[in-house]
Each structure stands twice: as structure tokens, then as C-alpha cells.
Amino acid sequence: MKPRRDALLMLLILTGFCLTSILLAQVARDIAKNTFPSVVLLLMEDANGQPLSMASGFSVGKGVIATNFHVVEGAARGYAKIVGQKTKLDIAGTIGINMRTDLVLLSVPGANAPAISLGDSSQLSVGDRVYVVGNPQGLEGTLSEGIISGIREIGSDRLLQITAPISPGSSGGPVL
């Protein structure tokens, strides 16, 4: 009788793992589907039209793209391309810059991408699952998964350490 109960218990555990994997895959699939239309590939150029950087950004409002300041630093011009679309949209300028936190808001007329809502990072804990969307090496619409591996208090700043890979070209993309 005991071997049968052990076999049943093992079957239930394996079924639970399989269902969890399916649910997590579905969550990741939904995140990709819902986020990609809000993410942009950014290409910044110098005054001679030479590429300076390729990175990512995301819509936070009609015609407003958030990214990292280091992406646009020193650039004379640039364009944004919404993931999965062909149209290149000229960046008209900056709306706001915070060099201390490496953030910039760009004015991109015509970028009518759905805005990504900003979350409350104070509600996060070590071990929470995160997803990163970006364009590593220009490969559009890449989703990476990880966890919050640490939360650091440095002065008045709260920094989240994550395990999701962020490769060159993904800088400025959203962490979800």
C-alpha cells in the first residue's frame, strides 16, 4: 500500500511542477505580448551621422519615451523604432533628464505606443520574479527572466539587484 501512495504523491508533485511551469510560461508569454508594442529600439548618432549607441526605451505617455541618459549622452540626433514595426521616428529632443539616476525622457512625436505603467518598487522582495524587455545587439523584442537577488539601501537610494541578463542594446528597456 505504501509504494502506491508514494507513487501517487510523486505523480501529484510532478503534476504540480508541470502546471507551475505552464503557468509561468503563460505569464511570460503574456508579458511579452503586452509589452513589446510599448518598447522601442533607439539608435543615436553623432553630428556626422555615425552610430554612437543602440539601446532600448519604453513608452510612458503619448510621444514620450523613457531610457537611460548614457544612451543619448553626446548624441546629435537619433530615432526610435517600435518593436515589430518598420517606421523610424525622429527623436525631437529631451523632456527631462536626471543624470544622477541615469534617466531621460525623450520627445518622440508619432510614437503612439501604449504607455507602460510604472510600479511601486517598495512592494518588491528578494526572490520576486522579474522580466526585462530590450533589444540586445539590435535583436528586437527580447524577453529575459530573472529574480530580484538583492535590495540595497545606499544613502537615500533603494537599488534592486536582479539576475535577468541585460546585454548591450538592452539598456533603457523596462524591468517588469
Catalytic residue IDs: 70, 102, 171
- φ, ψ (nearest 5 deg) of residue 90: -70, 140
Strands 129-134 and 89-90: unpaired
Strands (E), the chain: 39-45, 51-61, 64-68, 77-82, 89-90, 93-98, 103-107, 129-134, 142-154, 157-162
> Are the CB atoms for 67 and 57 separated by under 8 Å?
yes
